[in-house]
Amino acid sequence: MSSYVLRNVSVLGGAPANLMLRDGLISDLPDISAEYIDATGLVALPGLVDLHTHLREPGREDAETVETGSRSAALGGYTAVCAMANTSPVADTAGVVEQVWRLGREAGLVDVQPIGAVTVGLAGKQLAELGAMATSAANVRIFSDDGFCVADPRLMRRALEYVKAFDGIIAQHAEEPRLTEGAQMHEGEVSTRLGLTGWPAVAEEAIIARDVLLAEHVGSRLHVCHVSTAGSVEVLRQAKARGVRVTAEVTPHHLLLTDDLAASYDPVFKVNPPLRTAGDVAALREALVEGVIDVVATDHAPHAVEDKECEWAYARPGMLGLETALSIVISVLGERWDLIAERMSRTPARIAGLAGHGTDLAVGSPANLTLVDPSARWVVDPAELASRSRNTPYSGTTLPGRIVATFLRGEPTVLDGKAVK
């Protein structure tokens, strides 16, 4: 194992100091063979943790693989990602989650923690083998049918009851399907003008309201994926005030982009839940700062060209997120490093139960960290992203903050802004 001294690094924006990485840990034991890295002007953050990543393997390796997605994550400053279950075959058995977990280990660029499906085939009819996934080598703790909502309240209740035994979490994609049939974008002024079928805010809010009541009744942990409306924030605020065990995430794109982008008819802006209004964006930002929304999660959703560069109505929903997330969050929150570490590393690591991630950069802690150059500006070029897909909504945009290096257990996965392998 190599040792590194990060010279003059600013931990979370603090005074510059040297940080020693040795034997996978942050250390105070000198090592004469250590390699020095000049980190003057760079900020060290605990390695970012993503609760919501679509890696597409198995099944859509043309859009992303565990390896390309892991590289994308490392370049974005991540040291751990939770891989969503809507693969093909669906990650609804111990076999598939173990396969994803093993592929993550082989890639060795971030820790890949599989999420298991709640229902067989994401079909919403029958509970998947949650226990077998939990006791598998993948040690699954979060279950989600993301892409689809667990709409049947009885099934949702059963799932919450089942995971309570091992303190698992049901992560809900909150979308009442009867209210979003044929929906193409947020239901509002812009959808009316464009003549596109709308996805009303209440379709999300109604499911969150129902689910926090179910979670309260059962006493289980609920996590709400990609919260997108001001009304959802209010439901969460009330539930948290009552002590319901609920956590919530927001994506970088819902913190920045609005529904009027649909007027371009460019499917790169098609996403589920859809981009909402400026009022929703403002409420989401405030909720994130306050902690009503606990974390930023990317919902990194790579799609092949033929699934994205087509007519709006036929395009798949979703956008890339891993390589731009931190820059978007910096542009939204400013250089509030401790808050960023809380929302993008410590809290997601705690929710997912990922020991060794989201820990303070203190002597004895695992050396999972990322170095950011806050003064750098970069122009997003889809062709330069490590993801196998190109569907970033930020093509040609200048963003603040660049990841210079990422370390996983003391070994670099990114150096000089480039993936090490």
Instruction: Report what 86 binds from Zn ion, ligand DOR, none; CB cut-off 5-8 Å by kind.
Output: ligand DOR
Number of residues located near Zn ion, criterion CB under 5 A: 3
Please identify, using beta-carbon distances, which residue of 90 and 405 lies nearer to ligand DOR.
90
Please identify, using beta-carbon distances, which residue of 10 and 184 lies nearer to ligand DOR.
184
Phi, psi at 86, each rounded to 5°:
-85, 55
Please identify, using beta-carbon distances, which residue of 171 and 372 lies nearer to ligand DOR.
171
Structure tokens at 136: 């598998």
Which listed residue (67, 92, 146, 307) binds Zn ion by CB under 5 A?
146
Instruction: Report what 271 binds from Zn ion, ligand DOR, none; CB cut-off 5-8 Å by kind.
Output: ligand DOR
Asked if 31 is an active-site residue, the reply is no
Phi, psi at 116, each rounded to 5°:
-95, 155
Site of interaction with ligand DOR (CB under 6 A): 54, 86, 146-147, 173, 271-272, 301, 316-318
- Nearest-10 Cα torsion for 105, 327, 373, 391: 60
Rounded distance, CA 278 to CA 230, Å? 10
In the bound complex, which residue of the shown chain has the CB atom lying closest to Zn ion? 173
Q: Does 52 bind Zn ion (CB under 5 A)?
A: no
Query: How many whole angstroms from its chain centre is CA 164?
Result: 23
On whether the CB atoms of residues 301 and 318 are closer than 8 A, the answer is: yes
Least gap, CB of 226 to Zn ion (angstroms):
5
Q: Of 111, 280, 299, 373, which one is the catalytic site residue?
A: 299
DSSP secondary structure code for residue 304 in this structure: -
With a CB cutoff of 8 Å and minimum separation 6, the contacts of 15 are none
Instruction: Report what 317 binds from ligand DOR, Zn ion, none; CB cut-off 5-8 Å by kind.
Output: ligand DOR
Applying CB under 5 A, the span of 173-181, 237-245, 329-337, 400-408 interacting with Zn ion comes to 173-181
With a CB cutoff of 8 Å and minimum separation 6, the contacts of 388 are 61, 62, 63, 64, 65, 68, 302
Rounded distance, CA 66 to CA 51, Å? 15
Rounded distance, CA 317 to CA 336, Å? 31
Least gap, CB of 396 to Zn ion (angstroms):
27
Q: Does 50 bind Zn ion (CB under 5 A)?
A: no
Residue 77's region, left for phi above 0, alpha for psi from -120 to 50, else beta, is: left
Please identify, using beta-carbon distances, which residue of 173 and 270 lies nearer to Zn ion.
173
Which listed residue (54, 71, 173, 223) binds Zn ion by CB under 5 A?
173
* Residue 29 CB neighbours (<10 A): 11
Applying CB under 5 A, the span of 127-135, 163-171, 220-228, 360-368 interacting with Zn ion comes to 220-228
Least gap, CB of 307 to ligand DOR (angstroms):
9
Least gap, CB of 175 to Zn ion (angstroms):
8
Rounded distance, CA 406 to CA 79, Å? 8
Phi, psi at 407, each rounded to 5°:
-125, 130
> Which amino acid is present at 195?
G
Please identify, using beta-carbon distances, which residue of 211 and 342 lies nearer to ligand DOR.
211
Rounded distance, CA 278 to CA 259, Å? 8
Least gap, CB of 319 to ligand DOR (angstroms):
7
Please identify, using beta-carbon distances, which residue of 316 and 402 lies nearer to ligand DOR.
316
Structure tokens at 98: 């173990």
Q: Which of positions 64-93 make contact with Zn ion (CB under 5 A)?
A: none
Structure tokens at 325: 């997330």
Instruction: Report what 358 binds from ligand DOR, Zn ion, none; CB cut-off 5-8 Å by kind.
Output: none
Residues designated as active site: 299
Residues that bind Zn ion (CB under 5 A): 146, 173, 225
